[in-house]
Amino acid sequence: MAAERDPEGLAAARPLLTDLYQATMALGYWRAGRARDAAEFELFFRRCPFGGAFALAAGLRDCMRFLRAFRLRDAGSPPHPTGAPIPRAPHALREPPPREPPTPDGRPHPTNVQFLASVLPPDTDPAFFEHLRALDCSEVTVRALPEGSLAFPGVPLLQVSGPLLVVQLLETPLLCLVSYASLVATNAARLRLIAGPEKRLLEMGLRRAQGPDGGLTASTYSYLGGFDSSSNVLAGQLRGVPVAGTLAHSFITSFSGSELPPDPMLAPAAGEGPGVDLAAKAQVWLERVCAHLGLGLQEPHPGERAAFVAYALAFPRAFQGLLDSYSVRRSGLPNFLAVSLALGELGYRAVGVRLDSGDLLQQAQEIRQVFRTIAAQFQVPWLESVPIAVSNNIDEEALAQLAQEGSEVNVIGIGTSVVTCPQQPSLGCVYKLVAVGGQPRMKLTEDPEKQTLPGSKAAFRLLGSDGSLLMDVLQLAEEPVPQAGQELRVWPRGAQEPCTVRPAQVEPLLRLCLQQGQLCEPLPSLAESRALAQLSLSQLSPAHRRLWNPAQYQVVLSERLQALVDSLRVGASP
Amino acid sequence: MAAERDPEGLAAARPLLTDLYQATMALGYWRAGRARDAAEFELFFRRCPFGGAFALAAGLRDCMRFLRAFRLRDAGSPPHPTGAPIPRAPHALREPPPREPPTPDGRPHPTNVQFLASVLPPDTDPAFFEHLRALDCSEVTVRALPEGSLAFPGVPLLQVSGPLLVVQLLETPLLCLVSYASLVATNAARLRLIAGPEKRLLEMGLRRAQGPDGGLTASTYSYLGGFDSSSNVLAGQLRGVPVAGTLAHSFITSFSGSELPPDPMLAPAAGEGPGVDLAAKAQVWLERVCAHLGLGLQEPHPGERAAFVAYALAFPRAFQGLLDSYSVRRSGLPNFLAVSLALGELGYRAVGVRLDSGDLLQQAQEIRQVFRTIAAQFQVPWLESVPIAVSNNIDEEALAQLAQEGSEVNVIGIGTSVVTCPQQPSLGCVYKLVAVGGQPRMKLTEDPEKQTLPGSKAAFRLLGSDGSLLMDVLQLAEEPVPQAGQELRVWPRGAQEPCTVRPAQVEPLLRLCLQQGQLCEPLPSLAESRALAQLSLSQLSPAHRRLWNPAQYQVVLSERLQALVDSLRVGASP
């Protein structure tokens, strides 16, 4: 797999990736003299997506890129007014922020701060905008669930601390970068669980995504969640996702059969001996194939065959056929066989067929059967196992069909269902203030589901002696770490009584990623995060991993955290 | 509204915004000597989204930006190998393509062509890559439905003609840029129809979008479809969308009430006379309000009131209250009233309240009632009509409730339901070859819904004498234009018999946008496209505009087009 080549990502070029009310709140904090109050926010979700009992944490790499590059001052504007150099992290990315192209009339863009000034009250104190020009993330610290970890309701995916004004401004970008990434990674993980480990899963949803960057995010995090590859070339170029893909119907229908290739000759695979006219050889094979299949020689479409020959001339070692432009049984399949057998004579082996309409499972069984009889008839054993790929609006239910015992489908292309997550197209992450000036904060709205858990917290995952996950514990940051083998009293959320648990292992969940603006360690590669996701899923008990009506995984509070919640609730009562 | 400031858009920086199979097909065409065959593709959808009978065409501006900038050659690589200068359009955008930042280790990125070479067979003829390096859209012509037009099944949103290889490569980018834009514009138009013309609709879904660019697309095209504004600052900065937004719960909960603002004094609105301590004045008003409402003076949360005072000090002319951090009735509302009445004494008027949980309609009625009694009690008539804004997972059904006769809700914020289009999160546009080398082409798959309409076509909208839309006609490009007042024989799709129609007006649907790579006219502004969308919707009959179980709008074929379809079907039969 290639290295990632898009270190900053698109988001990093957009420091104003935010909602207006964060800018208005920034002015509110500043006017109240609270811009630099120490604050901590947590980013989490309240319910697992898709009716399941787990989610995968993802999007952290995009967040780190955004935070490292975050600066409202424009590239050309004066440096930090204190004159202090911008701190450089050991793993800092060295390039300058990408520049916007100028406007069509040649004027430079308004700077970020100029734009904010244009939408805030005209009599706003200029010192506020000076404050914004000096902003960066050099005082921001982030702890996070590593990408590919299992995430559960209420457990922070990110803990973000720093000056109140700046960490408030980060709300929307962090939500935007984490929510969809985690949703699509979780969706991909579900599809992988349904498909089982053997089927190859190809993501092909770029055209159905929310624009180019939506597609890039979808491809990146579908791979992280368990897909094998993507058709999205940008995801290969910029993120190192393995890319795959063959041909579409327009290639087939663009040929009538009357075209004359400039060079119809193909040399043998071994490179020795004279070349042969592939089209002529395919014609010879077509007669044998049609005779064997009981088809008239005129039935297979000549344009489709010409397209296959053209594709085989371009990709003799990677020939694939898309079979359903005209008729699979009467045209696509015999044409594919004729060209494949002609290639086979020259020592090349076709690498696959694809179906994009009709009853995919049934057709795959029939095609495999034809492959077997042709392989036996013409002594070409490799033909038996040519992979069969299918696509066409495949969702979880259709995938379960295609992955069933005895299915002859090998490769499954999924577009819309993976990138748009139609079962639930948003994860609903929130970003909530938990402490300010060292004091815990809690939202006590009358809607119990919207109440938050106060205070700066630590999170641990408790495991049983067999390595399976028992529950996650949230506790106050200053509490001692739970010890393996020791009994712990904890409060399930919403329970009236505590319960006890004796974990065989205890794993800390949140990892220090960014400390005072400095990246603490290099980001793992996408492939490493993908491996972590598969490992994490394997540790989940079958009851929690089940995709429909699973057992709910418990997230519990320490006694001290529960006591803090209770005291803040009582304190708020009139 | 500000001008658009992002002429190239994010996509324009990404010429490899494509699927791998388009690159493999490009090699196939090239190897077959067909790279420069004249080809025409159409981009259309097969079914209207959301169970409605219409869609809005959108995304054209992004397509034009992409096509103008499209070049696989990298900025630093040698020019067109023929030495010919790249043609410049009269409305060309003058800036160089944006550059990618270098990789973290300082190496330059692989060029686009280098990346493609790395994923194509290693023995690919280098002349193919030379061909790619010379590619641009200088031979591409595009006709399109103007942005904001009504679009119906099978009617092309785009007709793209040019050399086969390059117009094939454009498949995924054009689908990616049109599909979601049209989907979200249509979704926004539906929400506007439900809300009626008076309610203000605010899009606030950035955090739920597919990454930053998904959010930018969503905000841009929600506005085009009929929303009034967006909370997305980038959409304001880069696209000129009006931005709006106030404050969030974290601002409220960050205040305990013990904070001391550095400057609690506020001068009167008229600018004359001494300033007053706003917090102290609000405290005085709180006593009167609580007495009037029968509340204890300790019930309203002091932190919430401090937050309101801080916000009012920053935005005395734009004070809004978010009422549900603690308790709307017992805390948010009396605190808002106290601060508003204090502001009112100084000549300022509060501009709104927002509710984000609970029964929004019911609460709005109660709050309006309190506004009325307080307005009467304290002789502040302006308070009666302070706008009430609501948000919290509002979908079509909830919106219909909030927009009902007698509702006191004035502003409705919608996030997830507008940007993710949960009723149907993708439009399913396709891009199909209709002609190559002047010959019509048709996909004749056994799945009737996936069959295409062959040939280079023109499209017209027929209107009745009252200006209402009758039907759309597709015909071959060379046929004479239908004449107003003359009877026309046409074939409804799938019908066994033709029917006749006598239109009072005939409007050509497809507009020449890009001719041989040259932009034919400046793009309309986003506000102009938004106005066209509202005008177009008003021309649709109520039966077609109805959102649930509408009458289907007819798209018909000319007799000659129908005859061509029939002849190609027969020709393909064995």
* DSSP labels, A110-141: PPHHHHHHHHS-TT--HHHHHHHHT-BSTT-E
Rounded to an integer, the average pLDDT of A7-24 is 73
**Scanning the structure block, which residue is given the tokens 């938004």?**
B530
Pairing of β A38-44 and β A158-163: antiparallel
Flag whether pLDDT at A133 surpasses 70.
Answer: yes
CB B63 within 8 A of CB A273: no
ipTM confidence score: 0.90
pLDDT value of position B570:
78
Flag whether pLDDT at A1 surpasses 90.
Answer: no
Name every chain B residue with its beta carbon within 8 A of the beta carbon of A318. 121
Flag whether pLDDT at A11 surpasses 80.
Answer: no
Structure tokens at B338: 């106290």
Facing residue for B34 by CB, picked from A34, A96, A259: A259
Facing residue for B358 by CB, picked from A317, A446, A572: A446
B395 touches chain A (CB under 8 A): no
Q: Do the chains contact at A104 and B93, CB–CB below 8 Å?
A: yes
Q: Do the chains contact at A233 and B18, CB–CB below 8 Å?
A: yes
Q: What is the 3-state secondary structure (H, E, C) of A302-344?
A: HHHHHHHHHHHHHCCCCCEEECCCCCHHHHHHHHHHHHHHHHH
Structure tokens at A398: 């259709």
- pLDDT digits 0-9 by tens, A516-564: 999 999 989 999 999 999 999 999 999 999 999 999 999 999 999 999 9
Rounded CA separation B546/B532 (Å):
19
Structure tokens at B375: 């307005």
Rounded to an integer, the average pLDDT of A445-471 is 90
pLDDT value of position A238:
86
Structure tokens at B129: 């890559």
Confidence of residue B75 (pLDDT cuts 50, 70, 90): low
B126 touches chain A (CB under 8 A): no
Confidence of residue A157 (pLDDT cuts 50, 70, 90): very high
Confidence of residue B102 (pLDDT cuts 50, 70, 90): very low
Alpha helices in A466-541 (DSSP H): 526-539
B280 touches chain A (CB under 8 A): no
Within 8 A by CB and 6+ apart from A6, the residues are: A237, A238, A239, B100
Q: Do the chains contact at B34 and A254, CB–CB below 8 Å?
A: yes
Q: Do the chains contact at B446 and A328, CB–CB below 8 Å?
A: yes
Rounded to an integer, the average pLDDT of A183-192 is 98
pLDDT value of position B450:
78
Rounded CA separation B433/A487 (Å):
68
B102 touches chain A (CB under 8 A): yes
A283-to-A227, A286, B157, B571 alpha-carbon distances in Å: 38, 5, 40, 21
Residue A433 host element (H or E)? strand A430-436
pLDDT value of position A84:
38
Which residues are registered as beta bridge partners of A162?
A: A39
- pLDDT digits 0-9 by tens, B353-375: 999 999 999 999 999 999 999 99
Flag whether pLDDT at A109 surpasses 70.
Answer: no
- pLDDT digits 0-9 by tens, B269-293: 998 888 999 999 999 999 999 999 9
B121 touches chain A (CB under 8 A): yes
Strands across the sheet containing A457-463: A499-501, A488-492, A554-558, A469-476, A457-463, A505-508
Structure tokens at A1: 């797999």
Eight-state DSSP code of residue B303: H
A246 touches chain B (CB under 8 A): yes
- Report CA torsion sign: A538, A540, A543, A546: negative
How many Cα atoms sit within 13 Å of B17 on the Cβ side?
A: 33
DSSP line for A149-209: -EE-TTS-SEEEEEEHHHHHHTHHHHHHHHHHHHHHHHHHHHHHHHHTTTSEEEE--GGGS
Facing residue for B176 by CB, picked from A173, A207, A441: A207
Substitution target from A113, A213, A411 for chain B, most B beta carbons within 10 A:
A213
- Report CA torsion sign: A301, A304, A306, A312: negative
Strands across the sheet containing A518-519: A439-440, A430-436, A38-44, A158-163, A141-144, A511-515, A518-519
B445 touches chain A (CB under 8 A): yes
Rounded to an integer, the average pLDDT of A46-68 is 95
Name every chain B residue with its beta carbon within 8 A of the beta carbon of A255. 32
- % pLDDT > 70, chain B: 90
Rounded to an integer, the average pLDDT of A364-374 is 98
Q: How many residues does chain A have?
A: 574
* Amino acid at position B397, single letter: E
Rounded to an integer, the average pLDDT of B109-135 is 90
Nearest CA in chain A to B432: A250
Q: Is B196 left (phi over 0), alpha (psi -120 to 50) or beta?
A: left
Rounded CA separation A164/A172 (Å):
15
A107 touches chain B (CB under 8 A): no
CB B58 within 8 A of CB B185: yes
CA end-to-end span of chain A: 61
Q: Which of A160, A131, A139, A138 is nearest to A87 (CA)?
A: A138
Flag whether pLDDT at B206 surpasses 60.
Answer: yes
Q: Which of A211, A339, A350 is nearest to A276 (CA)?
A: A339
Q: Do the chains contact at A298 and B175, CB–CB below 8 Å?
A: no
Confidence of residue A20 (pLDDT cuts 50, 70, 90): very high
Eight-state DSSP code of residue B504: S
Rounded CA separation B163/B35 (Å):
6
Report the predicted TM-score, pTM, of the whole model to 2 decimal places.
0.92
Facing residue for B234 by CB, picked from A14, A41, A327: A14
- pLDDT digits 0-9 by tens, B217-262: 999 999 999 999 999 998 998 889 999 987 889 999 999 999 888 8
CA end-to-end span of chain B: 61
pLDDT value of position A75:
56
Residue B492 host element (H or E)? strand B488-492
Flag whether pLDDT at B71 surpasses 60.
Answer: yes
Substitution target from B250, B290, B330, B449 for chain A, most A beta carbons within 10 A:
B250
pLDDT value of position B72:
86
Nearest CA in chain B to A357: B447
* Amino acid at position B377, single letter: Q
Rounded CA separation B125/A240 (Å):
25
Flag whether pLDDT at B152 surpasses 60.
Answer: yes
Facing residue for B420 by CB, picked from A173, A311, A425: A425
Flag whether pLDDT at B544 surpasses 70.
Answer: yes
Name every chain A residue with its beta carbon within 8 A of the beta carbon of B179. 207-208
Rounded to an integer, the average pLDDT of A429-448 is 88
**Scanning the structure block, which residue is given the tokens 């700046």?**
A166
Q: Do the chains contact at A253 and B441, CB–CB below 8 Å?
A: yes
Flag whether pLDDT at B12 surpasses 90.
Answer: no
Which 507-546 residues of chain B touch chain A by CB within 8 A?
A: none
Confidence of residue B4 (pLDDT cuts 50, 70, 90): very low
Q: Do the chains contact at B5 and A109, CB–CB below 8 Å?
A: yes
Rounded to an integer, the average pLDDT of B115-131 is 93
B169-to-A312, A406, B173 alpha-carbon distances in Å: 19, 37, 8
Rounded to an integer, the average pLDDT of A56-65 is 94
**Scanning the structure block, which residue is given the tokens 């962090």?**
A174
Rounded CA separation A204/A230 (Å):
6
Cβ-in-10-Å burial (0-12, 13-18, 19+) of B525 comes to: middle
Flag whether pLDDT at B449 surpasses 90.
Answer: no
Substitution target from A295, A355, A426 for chain B, most B beta carbons within 10 A:
A426
3-state secondary structure of B149: coil
Q: Do the chains contact at A101 and B8, CB–CB below 8 Å?
A: yes
3-state secondary structure of A74: coil
Residue B168 host element (H or E)? helix B164-169
Structure tokens at A388: 């069969």
Facing residue for A180 by CB, picked from B22, B173, B210: B210
CB A294 within 8 A of CB A340: no
Rounded CA separation A442/A452 (Å):
5
How many CB atoms within 10 Å of residue B93? 18
- pLDDT digits 0-9 by tens, B391-448: 999 999 999 999 999 999 999 999 999 999 999 999 999 999 999 999 998 877 777 7
Rounded to an integer, the average pLDDT of A153-159 is 97
Flag whether pLDDT at B96 surpasses 70.
Answer: no
Q: Do the chains contact at B121 and A317, CB–CB below 8 Å?
A: yes
Confidence of residue A261 (pLDDT cuts 50, 70, 90): confident
Flag whether pLDDT at A447 surpasses 80.
Answer: no
Rounded to an integer, the average pLDDT of B190-209 is 96
3-state secondary structure of B121: coil
Rounded to an integer, the average pLDDT of B207-215 is 88
Flag whether pLDDT at A372 surpasses 90.
Answer: yes
- pLDDT digits 0-9 by tens, B485-530: 999 999 998 888 999 999 999 999 999 999 999 999 998 999 999 9
Which 183-212 residues of chain A touch chain B by CB within 8 A?
A: 184, 204, 206-212
CB A1 within 8 A of CB A220: no
Rounded CA separation A224/B22 (Å):
24
CB B300 within 8 A of CB B330: yes
Facing residue for B237 by CB, picked from A34, A115, A442: A115
Rounded CA separation A367/A364 (Å):
5
Name every chain B residue with its beta carbon within 8 A of the beta carbon of A19. 204, 206-207, 231-233, 245
User: For chain B, what is the total number of helices (H) and then of strands (E)?
Assistant: 18, 23
Eight-state DSSP code of residue B152: -
Q: What is the mean pLDDT of chain A?
A: 90
Name every chain A residue with its beta carbon within 8 A of the beta carbon of B315. 24, 27-28, 121
Flag whether pLDDT at A91 surpasses 50.
Answer: no
Q: How far is B260 from chain A (nearest CA, A)?
A: 8
Residue B129 host element (H or E)? helix B126-133
A110 touches chain B (CB under 8 A): yes
DSSP line for B313-327: HH-TTS-EEE--SS-
Torsion of CA A136, A138, A140, A144, to 10 degrees: 110
